[in-house]
Amino acid sequence: MDLTLLVLAAGMGSRYGGLKQLDKVGPSGETIIDYSVYDAIEAGFNKIVFIIRKDIEKDMKELLFDKYSKKIKIEYVFQELENLPIGINPPEGRTKPWGTGHAVLMAKDVIHEPFVVINADDFYGKSAFKVVADYMKSQQNNLKGKYCMAGYLLKNTLSEHGHVSRGVCTVNNNMEMTDIIERTKIGWKYDIIVADDNGKELVLSGNEYVSMNFWGFTPDVFSALESEFSKFIITNFDNLKSEYYIPSIVSYQVNEGNATVKVLEAKDQWFGVTYQEDKPIVVEKINELTLTGKYPVKLW
């Protein structure tokens, strides 16, 4: 079965203060993407598509894509502000593209098989790639509406250095998602976890499953993404900071009865570099994984 990994690598790293996609965190100068690609190949993926910006194309190609292409098929496409439905131009004053849902939509012409979406700057761990790949392969005769997600416990995904945004999930007894809400400004307040809820504080237990943007989709998601994005643009045209998030299309598909989403628990710890202060922690954790033999000292 063909299975593609779609890597969202067009982010600008505004909170991080630099290009996270190319920051070195491994013992031999590896990036976080290096580990994700390594784990994906081991899990049985046979193509990787990157969503990038034109201004980082040269660096991404020279530092990452050329070495990956010796191991797996590589393609890349661009997410730019002006990549909009026909007849719609970006509003004056808008400076950033339209979020993760918009990013996934950029790959519709190069992906025609089941695929998995990840962020470039998140370290997900081997178990996430394996459990999601195994599920997608088990559904190979169901090429429509059989989605899945690697689920992490909220308390294991927070940063000590600032707020984060997470898609907080509700699941049923079959571990199928019944709802997902994008919560912003989640963080510790003393010894409790709080999130922003329309200007009010919402207390969370920390045991909720959250999305770290590790999704498994069948190709039908592209038509839904495109249709709902057109509506989103019209509704939010004057909001220069509005973003079209993946959870919004997932919620739509589930509520319309067009898809089910299996939440698959990821056993490894997630970690990432939302803030520059997170980097030493990531370096330390990767070093520990290397010392225990989970990864070779030199990946490539």
The secondary structure of 133-171, three-state, reads HHHHHHCCCCCCCEEEEEEEEHHHCCCCCCCEEEEEEEE
pLDDT at 17 over 60: no
Please state the pTM of the whole predicted model: 0.90
Q: Is the pLDDT of residue 264 over 90?
A: yes
When comparing pLDDT for 278 and 229, which is higher? 229
Closest among 131, 165, 158 to 271, alpha carbons compared: 158
Amino acid at the residue 138? S
CB 76 within 8 A of CB 137: no
| Average pLDDT of the residues in 275-286 | 88
- pLDDT, tens digit, 9 for 90 and up, residues 135-188: 999 987 777 899 999 999 999 888 777 888 888 999 999 999 998 888 888 999
Residue 12 pLDDT: 53
In the predicted model, is pLDDT for residue 16 greater than 60?
Answer: no
| Of 198, 205, 250, 206, nearest in space to 224 by CA | 250
* CATH number for the domain whose boundaries are 4-291: 3.90.550.10
The bridge status of strand 164-171 relative to strand 177-189 is antiparallel
pLDDT band at 14; cut points 50, 70, 90: very low
Q: At 20, is the pLDDT very low, low, confident or very high (cuts 50, 70, 90)?
A: low
pLDDT at 15 over 60: no
Confidence of residue 290 (pLDDT cuts 50, 70, 90): very high
Percent of all residues in the chain with a pLDDT value above 70, rounded to a whole number: 97
